[in-house]
């Protein structure tokens, strides 16, 4: 799923400064699961912002809504009735959600409340870790199901570099060395010999480097 | 001859090679390079010019290497994958060759987290293994990475790094073998302080026959103080300094002299390991120690190999 | 009813909200009267089925609606009917404390107490402690701003 975390209250206060009636919109999918922008967080942030405004001796009116997904028009359209008399929309969705709202309501100011961090796995309650970099050309078959692009700090395809010590990455003892994980997995599935091959230079044109990406499925379009 | 660099000639002739490290300054001051070059001149067969080492902004390695060339030194340009994509790498390689540089050492590069610009975006379009192959294909296939032909190809003696002290240990010789397969001609290792571990590493390397396909130059270097020894032992990932050495450095009355003694002992031991083709002296910001070390290790004078064929490109102009 | 002497000279009477678990603190509070113990009338009691039900938003709502102090009263560790209610509540207080500090209300206006159902005295102590603290701290900055805006 997509993981995100809330910007600091200070930053959000500055982002919404000057708007007096805010529509705070949560998203019921990824950011609900990672406790960043679901219905609960909408309630908390709206309350925080109202109180923060009061502390400055001013008033802020908030309308709270949470839709199932900010990245699909059928859900976004449910906000139509709520946006009319709001000065601005504060989206608690990921970067896609913010843009979904902005695209659907072209004359409305849409502001972000979250920082989107990427595609991740819930490792345990309260801990999420990036697993996919969306390079557009999956190589997981070559690395035993551990992605060196996403999990090696240098995205090495012929790692590990000289900074791998005790299974940890040189940049942070909290980060596992992606290549130690690749190595261990390949060993466990009896495929170590695969790692003897030099991986050729990657074609990054399928990644963001090739420009904004889209998928067009003619068989699905009406 | 693949590139005809002095380093290649010395190694091809079967001499025990000595390379040293020359760190460019964190400024535009050419004098620093001139001075260091003069210190190292005659004491080594080639000098490694570091490429923004530890991700600190320093003078360009190619620019500093060109200055070293003016002193008659044979520069080994270090090139990391951190700061350049394949377009810039190849462009810099063409330029370096045109300026007279004949050796390149291909590295992943320290992560920018360690440097003075931790907020920078890194590149890693290519990794060190792929860079080796790219440089080889430019030289031997006369082709750019995209496949297009190069009219006048850059002919480099290709270096790779090896770290026998990083994990997983059993994969380290294999990874060096991969670098050979990718096209590396010589390898310089991480600083060796744990000689036992390096001996084990070399044993596996020899079993795999890797030493017959690549010149291996273990990294050695004098430690300046007990504090430095402790810091190196505890804070540098992938560097192993045994406690015995840390203690010796801490107890030493003259730590600098002790550091050089330890370095000489290590040189003596690694020289005896079959498959070791030379040493790479990394006296980081202590280049002045190099002449003393080389002399006391009995590695002077450095061999002078006559150039039979003229290099294709005239070397850069010597200073007046 | 509490002693008149405890009241502030300027007439400020703090509003204290207690979120109490029905299995322990709520019954402890209930028992206070019959056992002859008194707790300050400043305390408004909100019954929770378990402190595990505590939500950061409840705390914020209390402050937004005029509370000068809030406390959570739950079971002793290991005595929770739902096993880990107080543990969860304590984790949530981490976020609540952070928010209260960021807002300038101050985390010292928020407290957490643990007791068994029979310990009326513990509840009364908690109620007095939080009321005293709110008295010392004065009105919540939010309430101060509100009254300033109304004048």
- A51 part of contact set with chain C, CB < 8 Å: yes
Chain C residues near residue A10 by CB distance under 8 angstroms: 102
**CA separation, residue B233 to residues B241, B242, B254 (Å):** 5, 7, 20
Q: Give mean pLDDT, residues A152-177.
A: 95
- Residue B312's pLDDT is what? 58
Q: B73 with B320: CB under 8 angstroms?
A: no
> Chains with ≥3 Cβ pairs under 8 A against C?
A
In this structure, what DSSP letter does residue C118 have?
Answer: T
Percent of chain A with pLDDT over 70: 100
**How many domains, in total, are found in chain C?**
1
**Bond into A160 cis (ω within 30):** yes
Q: Residues A178, A101: one domain?
A: no
Whether B316 shows a pLDDT value over 70: the answer reads: no
Distance from CA of B253 to the nearest CA of A (A): 33
Q: A22 with A13: CB under 8 angstroms?
A: no
User: Within 13 Å and on the Cβ side, how many CA atoms surround C145?
Assistant: 20
- Residue B307's pLDDT is what? 77
Chain C residues near residue A56 by CB distance under 8 angstroms: 145
Mean pLDDT of chain A: 97
- Residue A90's pLDDT is what? 98
- Residue C35's pLDDT is what? 87
Let me know if residue A89 belongs to a domain: yes
- pLDDT tier for residue C1 given thresholds of 50, 70 and 90: very low
- Residue B309's pLDDT is what? 61
A-C Cβ pairs (cutoff 8 Å, strict): 42
Q: What's the CATH code of the domain at C111?
A: 3.40.50
Percent of chain B with pLDDT over 70: 96
Residues of C with CB under 8 A from a CB of A: 55-57, 60-61, 63-64, 99, 102-105, 141-142, 145-146, 148-149
Whether C9 shows a pLDDT value over 80: the answer reads: no
What the block records as the tokens of A175 is 């980060």
Chain A residues near residue C148 by CB distance under 8 angstroms: 57
Chain C residues near residue A51 by CB distance under 8 angstroms: 60, 63-64, 103, 105, 142
- B161-218 pLDDT tens trace: 999 999 999 999 999 999 999 999 999 999 999 999 999 999 999 999 999 999 999 9
- Residue A34's pLDDT is what? 96
Q: Give mean pLDDT, residues C24-36.
A: 91
Let me know if residue A217 belongs to a domain: no
Nearest residue in A to C65, CA atom: A51
Whether C149 shows a pLDDT value over 90: the answer reads: no
Nearest residue in A to C151, CA atom: A57
Q: Give mean pLDDT, residues B221-238.
A: 94
**How many domains, in total, are found in chain A?**
2
- B93-135 pLDDT tens trace: 999 999 999 999 999 999 999 899 999 999 999 999 999 999 9
Q: Give residues with Cβ within 8 angstroms of A95, minimum separation 6.
A: A112, A116
Fold of B6-222+273-296: TIM Barrel (3.20.20)
- pLDDT tier for residue C2 given thresholds of 50, 70 and 90: very low
Q: What's the CATH code of the domain at A52?
A: 3.40.50.2300
- Nearest CB to C57: which of A44, A50, A54? A44
DSSP C14-63: --EEEEEETTTHHHHHHHHTTTT----TTEEEEEES-GGG--HHHHHHHH
Judge B/C contact: 3 or more CB pairs < 8 A.
no
Whether B54 shows a pLDDT value over 70: the answer reads: yes
Contact (CB<8Å) C60/A51: yes
Chain B residues near residue A165 by CB distance under 8 angstroms: 166-167, 237-238
Neighbours of B48 (CB within 10 A): 27
Contact (CB<8Å) A164/B114: no
> Chains with ≥3 Cβ pairs under 8 A against B?
A
Let me know if residue C36 belongs to a domain: yes
- C39-75 pLDDT tens trace: 999 999 999 999 999 999 999 999 999 999 999 999 9
Distance from CA of A70 to the nearest CA of B (A): 29
Chain A residues near residue B127 by CB distance under 8 angstroms: 154-159
Mean pLDDT of chain C: 91
Of residues C140 and C151, more confidence is placed in C140
Residue A24: φ, ψ to 5°: -95, 115
Contact (CB<8Å) C102/A10: yes
- B66-95 pLDDT tens trace: 999 999 999 999 999 999 999 999 999 999
- pLDDT tier for residue C145 given thresholds of 50, 70 and 90: confident
Domain of C70 in residue numbering reads as 12-150
Strands A114-124 and A127-132: antiparallel
Domain of A174 in residue numbering reads as 136-199
Of residues A154 and C35, more confidence is placed in A154
3-state secondary structure chain B: CCCCCHHHHHHHCCCCEEEEEECCCCCCCHHHHHHHHHHHCCCCCEEEECCCHHHCCCCCHHHHHHHHHHCCCCEEEEEECCCCCHHHHHHHHHHHHHCCCCEEEEECCCCHHHCCCCCCCCCCCCCHHHHHHHHHHHHHHCECCCCCECCCCCCCEEEEEECCCCCCHHHHHHHHHHHHHHCCCEEEEEECCCHHHHHHHHHHHHHCCHHHCCEEEEEECCCCCHHHHHHHHHHCCCCCCCHHHHHHHHHCCCHHHHHHHHHHHHHHHHHCCCCECEEEECCCCCCCHHHHHHHHCCCCCCCCCCCCCCCCCCCCCCCC
- Nearest CB to B166: which of A165, A197, A200? A165
- Residue C5's pLDDT is what? 43
Contact (CB<8Å) B182/A198: yes
What whole-number distance in Å separates Cα of residue B59 and Cα of residue B61? Answer: 6
Whether C8 shows a pLDDT value over 60: the answer reads: no
What the block records as the tokens of C31 is 């028992």
**CA separation, residue A63 to residues A42, B200, C57, C73, C133 (Å):** 10, 68, 16, 32, 34
Alpha carbon B88 to its chain's center? 21
Let me know if residue A162 belongs to a domain: yes
Distance from CA of B238 to the nearest CA of A (A): 5
Distance from CA of A218 to the nearest CA of C (A): 46
Distance from CA of B137 to the nearest CA of A (A): 12
Whether A150 shows a pLDDT value over 50: the answer reads: yes
Chain A residues near residue C60 by CB distance under 8 angstroms: 44, 47-48, 51
């Amino acid at each position: 799923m997509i993981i995100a975390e809330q910007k600091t209250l200070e930053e959000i206060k500055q982002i919404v400064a000057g708007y007096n009636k805010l529509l705070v919109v949560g998203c019921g999918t990824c950011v609900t699961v990672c406790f960043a922008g679901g219905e609960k967080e909408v309630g908390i942030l709206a309350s925080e912002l109202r109180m923060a405004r009061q502390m400055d001796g001013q008033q802020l009116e908030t309308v709270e809504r949470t839709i199932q997904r900010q990245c699909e028009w059928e859900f976004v359209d449910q906000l139509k009735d709520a946006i009319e008399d709001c000065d601005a929309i504060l989206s608690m969705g990921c970067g896609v959600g913010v843009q979904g709202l902005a695209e659907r309501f072209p004359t409305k100011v849409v502001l972000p409340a979250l920082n989107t961090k990427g595609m991740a796995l819930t490792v345990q309650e309260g801990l999420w870790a990036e697993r996919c970099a969306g390079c557009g050309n999956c190589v997981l078959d070559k690395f035993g199901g551990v992605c060196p692009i996403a999990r090696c700090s240098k995205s090495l395809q012929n790692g590990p570099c000289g900074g791998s010590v005790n299974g940890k990455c040189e940049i942070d003892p909290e980060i596992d060395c992606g290549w130690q994980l690749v190595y261990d997995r390949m060993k466990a599935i009896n495929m170590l010999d695969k790692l003897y091959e030099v991986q050729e230079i990657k074609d990054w044109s399928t990644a963001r480097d090739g420009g904004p990406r889209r998928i067009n499925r003619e068989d699905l379009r009406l | 001859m693949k590139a005809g660099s002095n380093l290649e000639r010395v190694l091809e002739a079967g001499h025990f090679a000595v390379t040293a490290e020359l760190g460019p300054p964190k400024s535009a001051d050419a004098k620093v390079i001139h001075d260091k070059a003069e210190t190292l001149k005659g004491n080594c067969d080639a000098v490694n010019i570091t490429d923004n080492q530890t991700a600190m902004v320093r003078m360009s390695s190619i620019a500093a290497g060109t200055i070293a060339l003016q002193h008659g030194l044979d520069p080994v340009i270090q090139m990391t994958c951190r700061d350049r994509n394949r377009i810039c790498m190849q462009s810099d390689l063409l330029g370096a060759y045109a300026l007279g540089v004949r050796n390149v050492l291909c590295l992943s590069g320290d992560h920018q987290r360690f440097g003075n610009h931790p907020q920078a975006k890194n590149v890693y379009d290519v990794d060190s293994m792929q860079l080796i192959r790219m440089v080889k294909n430019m030289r031997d296939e006369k082709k750019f990475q995209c496949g297009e032909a190069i009219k006048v190809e850059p002919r480099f003696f290709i270096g790779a790094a090896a770290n026998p002290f990083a994990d997983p240990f059993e994969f380290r010789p294999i990874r060096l073998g991969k670098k050979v397969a990718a096209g590396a001609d010589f390898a310089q290792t991480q600083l060796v302080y744990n000689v036992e571990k390096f001996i084990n590493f070399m044993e596996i390397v020899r079993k795999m026959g890797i030493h017959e396909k690549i010149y291996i130059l273990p990294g050695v270097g004098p430690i300046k103080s007990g504090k430095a020894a402790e810091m190196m032992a505890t804070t540098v990932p992938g560097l192993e300094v045994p406690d015995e050495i840390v203690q010796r450095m801490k107890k030493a009355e003259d730590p600098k002299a002790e550091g050089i003694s330890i370095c000489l002992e290590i040189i003596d031991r690694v020289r005896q390991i079959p498959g070791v083709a030379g040493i790479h002296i990394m006296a980081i910001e202590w280049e002045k120690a190099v002449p003393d070390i080389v002399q006391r290790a009995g590695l002077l004078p450095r061999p002078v190999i006559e150039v039979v064929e003229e290099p294709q490109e005239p070397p850069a102009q010597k200073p007046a | 009813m509490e002693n008149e002497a405890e009241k502030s000279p300027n007439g400020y009477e703090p509003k204290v909200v207690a979120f109490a678990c029905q299995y322990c603190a709520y019954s402890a509070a209930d028992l206070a009267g019959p056992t002859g113990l008194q707790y300050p009338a400043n305390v408004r009691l909100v019954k929770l089925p378990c402190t595990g039900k505590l939500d950061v938003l409840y705390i914020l709502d209390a402050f937004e609606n005029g509370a000068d102090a809030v406390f959570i009263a739950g079971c002793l560790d290991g005595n929770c009917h739902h096993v880990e209610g107080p543990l969860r509540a304590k984790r949530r207080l981490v976020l609540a404390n952070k928010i209260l500090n960021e807002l300038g209300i101050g985390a010292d206006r928020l407290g957490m107490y643990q007791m068994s159902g029979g310990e009326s005295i513990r509840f009364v102590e908690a109620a007095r402690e939080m009321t005293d603290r709110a008295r010392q701290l004065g009105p919540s900055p939010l309430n101060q701003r509100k009254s300033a805006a109304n004048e």
